[in-house]
Structure 1
Amino acid sequence: MLGELSERLRGGHHAKALPPSFRRGAAAGAVGLVLLATGLTATARDEPGLGRFYDQKIKWAACEGTELPKDLQCGSLTVPLDYADPGKGTLELALARYRASSDDPRGSVVLNFGGPGGSGVQGLAYGRKDFLGLTDDYDVVSFDPRGVGRSSPVSCGADATSRALEATDGEGTDDPRDALRQLREVAAECEKRSGPVLAHMGTVDVARDLDVMRQALGDKKLNYLGFSYGTRLGAVYAARFPEKVGRMALDGVDTLTDPPAEQGLASARGQQTALENFLTWCTEQLACPFGQDARAAREHVVALVRSLDDTPVPTDFGYEFTGQDLAGAIAQGLYTKEMWPVLQRVLAQLMEDGDTSGVEALASGGLAPAPAPPP
């Protein structure tokens, strides 16, 4: 997938359009973009209270987890909870990387798979084969953004997803004001359970984390590859730190002008239509895990999400796989019809064998592993 991009990162050419293999949120299309900036003196490190964060070094070690690639390394980065008040508290961000195979590497490339809310550590682990071209010359790095995965994750309670579904599924709620009331209750529960991190999870905060990460990685400039929402993050970083932009590729560019509420509504409508189409297709296949009734299949999906909210499944990445994670995995599998057989397969693995590896891969924006060959 990334062969052409790898060549352009090596040679410094302007990137052409990239294959839209990873898309999240309201992506406007698959577009590659390289931004090259001249070197200027950085000022962020000199802001009061930030020097200690910029001076840290990342300690890398083998990642914990039996299912993780042996050559994947994990580390952590300390960042301020609030950049406006660095003494207010700190957060620990989880990072992962594949080392460059070159004896003379050209630094790092940081990846963001989109979301917002996707685990970069998990995405890098599952998408390893896609990035081997880049590791010829670069350390390939990704991370769990603040509030996600292993990075001080936000918790909304075990039944948050099912409560949100009940408020918005269009069947049990006729009054939109009542649905809004229920959603506000869920949001209040998230705020209560998550502590101070929830108020500091914006894209600007994550962009500032990226700059601390760049310095901790030992890079004078940030080389960055972002998919879908990751293009928004890259654009915000470039606007905030234009003098620190190295080679930046943005695939599936997100708009910065449309109101987020309108983007979210359009995306939700599109995903609902895609889900109905997928279930119609699935129930026409003998291998469909939901049977051959499309209406009953929809009820199965809702029940599956709720059951995972009630009883989350532990993962090798140090967190529990919930109904919200499953909803994200399904959304990933709905982007193209070419993904429907993969989505059908991983849902069957989950329902028939309790195997979450495939849906975990989709939820992270990575590729679901192929089934093992028969003995």
Structure 2
Amino acid sequence: MALAALLAGCTSGGEGSERTSRPDAQSRGPAGPVPQGLERFYRQSLSWGDCADFATTERATLAFNGPDIECGRLTVPLDYDEPDGTEITLGVVRRRAGNQDERIGSLIMNPGGPGVAGMPAAASLSQKIAGTALGERFDFVGFDPRGIGASEPQIRCLTDSERDAERADDDETDNSPDGIAGQEADARAFARKCQQRTEHGEAMLANLGTRMVARDMDVLRSVLGDEKLTYLGYSYGTRLGSVYAETYPGNVRAMVLDGAIAPSKNQEEQLIAQAAGFQRAFEQFVDWCVQREDCALGADPSTATQRFQELVRPLIEQPVPAGDGRELSYDDATTATAQALYSRDLWTALNSGLDELTQGQGTSLMRLADYYNERGPDGNYSTTQDAHTAIRCVDAPAVTDRQEILRAERRYEEVAPFLDDGKPDGAALGPCAYWPVPHTLEPHLPDARGLPPVLVVSTTNDPATPYQAGVRLADALGGGLLTFDGTRHTAFLQGNECVNGAATDYLVNLELPPEGKRCT
């Protein structure tokens, strides 16, 4: 689960230039270092124009309707070790700096995931910063990483009907021998479908990981005319930023990394740490809820977890109606809860959904689960969940030790009792154990000697990315740490003026906040 987006360059048109549907070809690069053999990619021109053809979801269509939004395509090699081989394209979006005379460059942004499209996130966020120092001094740029969103080809694994069926089937709670066999058959089938249904198949899956996306970012930096990268990464975007910093430390101007994923933990350790974070957020939600007369979990915080389990566990055997002929499963109910715990803004919706569940209805919770899974009103899904799994499988070694999986499941339930399904634990292997290509990254602390000071933002009660992960990342990169005391996932440009001011000052003036700086 995760979030974020960013861009740079000089424009030929002044402030207030009209946006047209005819592509506006611009060549600002190459700027900065150009690796040998990749000159034609670094020297390409981008053609900017209308974004209608780049919208792959309803969210993207709405985001691209904002003023002054332009889109284009960047061409990169599928395999950087074979630059004369197959080429792929990335979708890129920008909103030009409001003050072109004092423009610093591009601010390139990634919203997280992995698997989340960056173009809609950047287009939406660019409207929020219009007229601010960031909006005036930077072109704000987002891109859909390779295989995602408007980038071509897309990672494709499950059809819309297969995704609906997967969500409706709570087979992961069945850890009998037959249940384990069924889960592993599904995992094998998922890996096979990803290979068969994705254009370029195995080659695309092999070159999908974060290392390749970091190289794409360097091409984008140069083509946009920036000698050095200015970057904003949220959640998984912090990993992308740290991999870029390791690969190109001399090409970095500034980085804000918000909501850090612990770089040295394996996937099981990360999931356990995330579960503990969601438990803390759930307890914060309970403290808020029990003050209300309509709290669906009652008035006693000591019994709230039990009450939550009493509401959602029966869904394993008996899902409830959720509108349009659909039924709310246990998986959907817990996904909806996790989605709401990302931000206090969704707590009222979560309480309403749980109250609705007491009446045998699941429409509101299904709406939250659909939002997380990016299912549109027409029943169509984005490819985010497919890409999320594919990238995770190539970014880290698969866990194949069943005893390790079993220990992790037990630990998960210990640190997040509200997510304990009450069923016996199992040790089914996941899709990554059957992935057709090897992984390309190992858990490690980044080593980016020569990197200029970067800024890490970490939230004390972040449900998805633990606070200490940000502390460790700042230390590993030799950067500054900005602490936000709150309960939400990520903080920069999310409404807190203290965080916004400190991080903006850093991006514009390259001045880190004072050591120990905290915002509330």
TM-score (norm 2): 0.49
How far residue 185 of structure 1 moved from its aligned partner, in angstroms, is: 2.0
How far residue 84 of structure 1 moved from its aligned partner, in angstroms, is: 1.1
Residue aligning to 1:235? 242
Return the match for 1:53 from 41, 54, 57. Answer: 41
Give, in whole Å, the separation in 1 of the partners of 2:319 and 2:91.
Answer: 31
**Kept after mapping to 1: 8 A contact 2:239/2:263:** yes
The alignment status of 1:174 with 2:183, answered yes or no, reads no
Return the match for 2:96 from 87, 94, 99. Answer: 99
Write the letter of the residue equivalent to 2:342: Y
The alignment status of 1:359 with 2:371, answered yes or no, reads yes
SS at match of 1:73: strand
The alignment status of 1:295 with 2:298, answered yes or no, reads no
Per-residue deviation, residues 224-263 of structure 1 (Å, max 9, x unmatched): 0111111111111011011110111111122211112431
Write the mapping of 1:149-164 to structure 2, written as runs, cut at 5 A: 149-151=149-151, 152-158=153-159, 159-160=162-163, 162-163=165-166
Seen in structure 2, the aligned counterparts of structure 1 residues 224 and 168 have a Cα distance that, compared at 3 Å, is farther
Write the mapping of 1:1-375 to structure 2, written as runs, cut at 5 A: 24=2, 42-44=33-35, 46=36, 48=37, 50-64=38-52, 67=62, 68-104=65-101, 105-132=103-130, 133=132, 134-151=134-151, 152-158=153-159, 159-160=162-163, 162-163=165-166, 166=169, 169-170=172-173, 172-175=174-177, 177-178=180-181, 179-195=183-199, 196=201, 197-267=204-274, 294-295=311-312, 331-341=338-348, 359=371
**Kept after mapping to 1: 8 A contact 2:106/2:139:** yes
Q: Which structure is larger by alpha-carbon Rg, 1 or 2? A: 2
TM-score (norm 1): 0.66
**Kept after mapping to 2: 8 A contact 1:99/1:140:** yes
SS at match of 2:84: helix
Seen in structure 2, the aligned counterparts of structure 1 residues 117 and 101 have a Cα distance that, compared at 3 Å, is same
Write the letter of the residue equivalent to 1:295: V
Seen in structure 2, the aligned counterparts of structure 1 residues 146 and 345 have a Cα distance that, compared at 3 Å, is farther
Seen in structure 2, the aligned counterparts of structure 1 residues 327 and 193 have a Cα distance that, compared at 3 Å, is farther
How far residue 72 of structure 1 moved from its aligned partner, in angstroms, is: 1.5
How far residue 161 of structure 1 moved from its aligned partner, in angstroms, is: 6.5
RMSD: 4.7
Give, in whole Å, the separation in 1 of the partners of 2:323 and 2:194.
Answer: 18
Seen in structure 2, the aligned counterparts of structure 1 residues 306 and 351 have a Cα distance that, compared at 3 Å, is closer
Q: Give identity over the alignment, percent.
A: 34
Seen in structure 2, the aligned counterparts of structure 1 residues 351 and 276 have a Cα distance that, compared at 3 Å, is farther
Give, in whole Å, the separation in 1 of the partners of 2:185 and 2:293.
Answer: 39
- Runs of at least 5 residues in structure 2 that lack an aligned partner in the other structure: 4-30, 56-60, 297-307, 357-361, 376-383, 385-488, 495-520
How far residue 108 of structure 1 moved from its aligned partner, in angstroms, is: 0.3
More displaced stretch, 137-146 vs 277-286: 277-286
Residue aligning to 1:29? none
Work out the number of aligned pairs and report it.
308
- Runs of at least 5 residues in structure 1 that lack an aligned partner in the other structure: 1-22, 26-39, 309-323, 369-375
